[in-house]
Amino acid sequence: MTLRDYQQQSVDAAIAHFKQSQQSAVLVLPTGAGKSIVIAELARIANGNVLVLTHVKELVAQNAEKVGLLTQEANIYSAGLNQKKANGKTVVASIQSAARALTKFTQPFSLVIIDECHRVSNESTSQYQQLLIHLKTRNPNLKLLGLTATPYRLGLGWIYRLHYHGKVGNTDTPVFDKCIFELPMRPLISKGYLTKPIIFDGLSAQYDFSELNAYDSGEYPQMEIDSLLNHQGRATTAIIKQIKQLAEVRKGVLIFAATVRHANEIMTLLDNDAALITAQTPHNERDDIIKRFKSQQLKFIVNVAVLTTGFDAPHVDLIAILRPTASISLFQQMIGRGLRLAQDKTDCLIIDYAANGYDLFYPEVGQAKPNSKSVPVQVHCPVCQFANIFWGIVDDDGDIVEHYGRRCQGLINNNQQCDFRFRSKSCPDCGAENDIAARICNTCQSTLIDPDKRLKQVLNAQHHHLFKCAQMLLLNQDDKLLVQYLDIEGNDFKQTFNFSTPAQRKAFYAVFVLSHTRTPGLRHPQYNKIADVLADQSRFRKPDLLLLKKNKHRWDLVDSFFNYQGKYKIDMS
């Protein structure tokens, strides 16, 4: 048995890394890339004993089998598989069983390999950490390697601190130190290691989830989903009718539903060759459904957020996505369920009925999608030139009209994160630039004033007015640029800019362009004429609030607030 080129490359990357480092490492390989072979090869060539951990018995069995193909048989420690051997050159264990029997793991291991390692928590009380702490008492130089297809978790972010492409990952709570190898999906498909996906948007009917806003965790509120679906009742009937038609020439169909209620509704529209799996489905019932699906007694499985990883039925050739997701990784995981090779399978049809609008090859941004129009955009850092991937909005030509990046993700000298910030707020005490959400200055530790607190203080003083800006207009008035801010009642506040001299044009840049740009860090053209600005006005964003101060007979602008989320927020409803 020989390794594929990228499998060998990932093995080589792990060897090279551990030769010169004790830091924990991650290999990122897409679903279907053959992670078990990589694990088996590492177990074969490692000096010392190797422990392979995973969270489901199916993967324990699969990994042990592959080890047996490449080198001497592995011992298995898994209650679910009725085998409990904790010692040997290679031990493959389920984390639940191993964590309950720490004292059985007496021999020193030199390397621990964790499969599906995005599930590892860095809570010291978690099963993985308890076991690792125990193993380090046997060998303080224990090396740790994780493998996953999705090195990212909604709400937690990247699982590693650094990426070998020179990019910062998670600086707050990383579980692993470094991603040392990452294989994208595209070459696997072009080389024929994975089935070709054919992706369509909902063909005849589609849900409209664009009103949903994700929590910071990236999850959507279930009640809001149900309520939106209630108003789109006939869509489900049309969608399921179409899926059934398309399924006539397909062998296995996976349907991803948005909520349990939604899934139950879908089930009433399918026939008796369909089954439902939710998080509440008992294990033995679930095993039975999957068995009947794999043997093709069942044609459809409807599921709610359970079959994204660890489920392997190669014959799946139709995937219907009826749920919204704020995560590119999650979307790609769902698609990954249909890309395994199988006999007589030439492609896998994938239909996105929820208008998620992701591309299979999009890079993960590392944050939940901020709104339904966002796509990943590439923004070069003006300081270190690193090509950042942020959420943003593009126009019909694909040009970036807005991006939501805050700090450059590039690594510079000695793996320090580049400190250029695309959006920031400056500390009033020391002038240092801080993240727009920071509460404490990163340089002088002084408390950054909460905008609401400041507004409250100022508004209690006289002569101040808070202008809630609903609209911003740019106009040419007598050869001056007029910026007119309007509130919902039609009151306005105006700023004018002269454009006659270079100094005036520079002032416009400093006062207006820098704060109103939707694309910080990307150059604006030089605006020599007012018409140039008007032609480019879609690149400017309106502030949410203007703080104005009365100065004799006119109002002066004291401060503008963009992306304001506090209690003085404008009520548009």
Residues making contact with Zn ion (CB under 5 A): 381, 383-384, 386, 408, 410, 418, 420, 427, 429-430, 432, 441, 443-444
CB of 272 to Zn ion, least distance (A): 58
The nearer residue to Zn ion, 105 or 386, going by C-beta atoms, is 386
- CB of 277 vs Zn ion, minimal distance in Å: 45
Residues making up the chain, counted from first to last: 573
In angstroms, what is the minimal distance from the CB of 379 to Zn ion? Answer: 10
Which alpha helices (H) appear in 55-173, and where do they start and end? 57-70, 95-99, 127-138
Which letter, b or e, does each residue of 226-247 get, where b requires 16 or more Cβ atoms within 10 Å of its Cβ? eebbeeeeebbebbbebbbebb
CB of 447 to Zn ion, least distance (A): 10
Q: How far is the CB of 430 from Zn ion (least distance, A)?
A: 3
Rounded Cα gap, residues 159 and 468, in angstroms: 40
With respect to Zn ion, which residue has the nearer C-beta, 290 or 379? Answer: 379
**For Zn ion, which is the closer residue by CB, 97 or 388?**
388
State the nearest-atom distance from the C-beta of 434 to Zn ion, in Å: 8
Nearer to Zn ion, 109 or 420 (CB): 420
- 355/412 with CB nearer Zn ion: 412
Helices H / strands E in the chain, number of each: 15, 31
Beta carbon of residue 384, minimum distance to Zn ion (angstroms, whole number) = 3
Q: Which is nearer to Zn ion, 439 or 529 (CB)?
A: 439
* Residue found under tokens 């090195």: 151
Minimum CB distance to Zn ion smaller for 383 or for 475? 383
**Phi-psi category of residue 82: left, alpha or beta, with phi > 0 → left and psi -120 to 50 → alpha:** left
Query: How far apart are CB 406 and Zn ion at their closest, in Å?
Result: 12
User: DSSP labels for 450-478?
Assistant: PHHHHHHHHHHSTTEEEEE--EEEEEEET
Minimum CB separation of residue 519 from Zn ion in Å reads 16
Cβ–Cβ under 8 Å, residues 318 and 253 = yes
Please tell me the distance from the alpha carbon of residue 297 to that of residue 142, in angstroms, as a whole number.
Answer: 46
SS3 content of the chain, % helix, strand, coil (to 5): 30, 25, 45
**Considering the complex, what minimum distance in angstroms separates the CB of residue 509 from Zn ion?**
22
Q: Where are the extended beta strands (E) located within 100-249?
A: 111-115, 143-148, 152-153, 157-158, 160-163, 167-168, 176-182, 196-201
Cα R_g (the chain), whole angstroms: 28
Angstrom distances, CA of residue 353 to CA of 130, 225, 317: 42, 14, 16
Which segments of 7-63 are extended strands (E)? Answer: 25-28, 50-54
Q: Would you list the DSSP string of 271-301?
A: -TTEEEE-TTS-HHHHHHHHHHHHTTS--EE
If the CB atoms of residues 79 and 383 are measured against Zn ion, the closer one turns out to be: 383
Distances (CA, A) of 551 to 484, 485, 548: 19, 19, 9
Please state at what angle helix 57-70 crosses helix 35-45, rounded to 10 degrees. Answer: 50
Q: Closest CB to Zn ion among 39 and 441? A: 441
Instruction: Give the separation between CA 161 and CA 207, rounded to whole angstroms.
Output: 37
Helix (H) or strand (E) holding 316: strand 316-321
Q: Which is nearer to Zn ion, 432 or 436 (CB)?
A: 432
| Spatial CB neighbours of 85, under 8 Å, sequence gap ≥ 6 | 75, 76, 77, 91
Give kind and range of the element (H or E) at residue 493.
strand 492-498
Q: Please say which residue, 4 or 425, places its beta carbon nearer to Zn ion.
A: 425
Largest interatomic CA distance in the chain? 89
Task: Using the minimum distance from each CB to Zn ion, give the nearer residue, 156 or 432.
Answer: 432
Least separation in angstroms between CB 454 and Zn ion: 16
Nearest residue (CB) to Zn ion, 229 versus 381? 381
Q: How many CA atoms lie within 13 A of 293 on its CB side?
A: 26
CA distance 269 to 244: 10
**Exposed, middle or buried by CB within 10 Å (0-12, 13-18, 19+), for 195?**
buried
CB of 556 to Zn ion, least distance (A): 26
Residue 432 beta carbon to Zn ion: minimum distance, rounded to whole angstroms: 5
